Structure 1
Amino acid sequence: MEILPGVGVALAKIGDTRTVVESRIGPPIHPGRSLRAVYETDPLLVLTYHADDTVELVELSHGGDQVYFDGVQLTDRFLADVVADLTARGHAGEPTGIGHRFEPGFAIFSTGSMWAGDLDPDAAEDDPRAVSEGVSVAPYDYFAE
């Protein structure tokens, strides 16, 4: 799935109403109208809504189909390799607490649910390489710490 930095993805864009999103992809996995909703797409789509039921943040998880931007695979790769590939394409990033944010509006992150051995069978138990497990899409300033 290709991200649209600062905008979202084809299925859900910042500012879309919950009604519009759910007309495209159906109801969330968990019933109710929580401000955070998970949708059974591939990859999983996690949306955070404002109180007025418009999309505030679009997130995509690792596993299943991969997430891309500008020809770079963003998920299920070592975080440092993703940053290097994006930088080589002219997309400068800034470190955040769990990953990097990029202009014009997305962030890649590692929560530690995957480890280097998931990608490299020769990785030692204490291999410190972080795995890019997900992508968040919102206006750039959303990711300011």
Structure 2
Amino acid sequence: MEIIAGVGVQMVKIGDPRDEVERRLGSPVHPGRGLRAVYESDPMLVVSYGPDDLVELVEVGYSGHHGGDEVFFSGVRLTYRFMDDVVADLAALGHHATPFDIGFAFEPGFAIFSMSSLWALDLDPDAGEDDDRRIVEGVSIAPRAYFDYGPPADATDEQLEEWLPEQGVFPPEPV
């Protein structure tokens, strides 16, 4: 399945109404918690809706050893591969990665992640039990702003002063 960065996938796009998604995919196999729903597809789709029942985030899981389809972007297979290899392949295409706690976000509007439910031996039979290479288990797709996890690591004090109020964080008033 090919992702459309910042937009979604062919079957589900950011801004689609829930009833339209369910006409295409059927009822969710797992309604999820709150505004998230899991749909039966290959690979599996998890869709997050806003309070207005419009799609805000599309997540696509790996198929892996189940034999289903994997997730691609610009010809690069994203899922069920070692994360460092995926990051390197995307960097070779000019896509800069911003790390976050469970993966990497990319400028065009998607992120790859690992929940650490797989281990290196799943992909590499020669890996040792202490091999800590992470495997990409899923891809999140949303507009780029969704993946802004903070100011750039090399932000100046002036840039931080601009960034904090945009996030609703205001410095304390002088005493």
Q: Give the TM-score normalised by structure 2.
A: 0.80
2:116 aligned counterpart, secondary structure: coil
Which structure has greater strand proportion?
1
Q: What per-residue deviation string (whole Å, max 9, x for no partner) do you get for residues 31-84 of structure 1? A: 589400000000000000001100010000011210000000000000000000
2:106 aligned to 78, 86, 102, which one? Answer: 102
Q: Deviations along 1:88-127, whole A, 9 cap, x unmatched?
A: 0111111111110001100000110111010001110110
What letter corresponds to residue 139 of structure 1 in structure 2? P
- Greater relative CO, 1 or 2 (CA 8 Å, sep 6+): 1
Matches within 5 A, 1:1-145: 1-31=1-31, 34-63=34-63, 64-145=68-149
CA RMSD of aligned residues (A): 1.3
Q: Which has the higher helix share?
A: 2
In structure 1, stretches of 5+ residues that fail to align are none
State how far apart, in whole Å, the 1-side matches of 2:43 and 2:100 are.
23
Taking structure 1 as the reference length, the TM-score comes to 0.96
Question: Structure 2 stretches of 5 or more lacking a match?
Answer: 150-175
> Which structure: larger Rg?
2
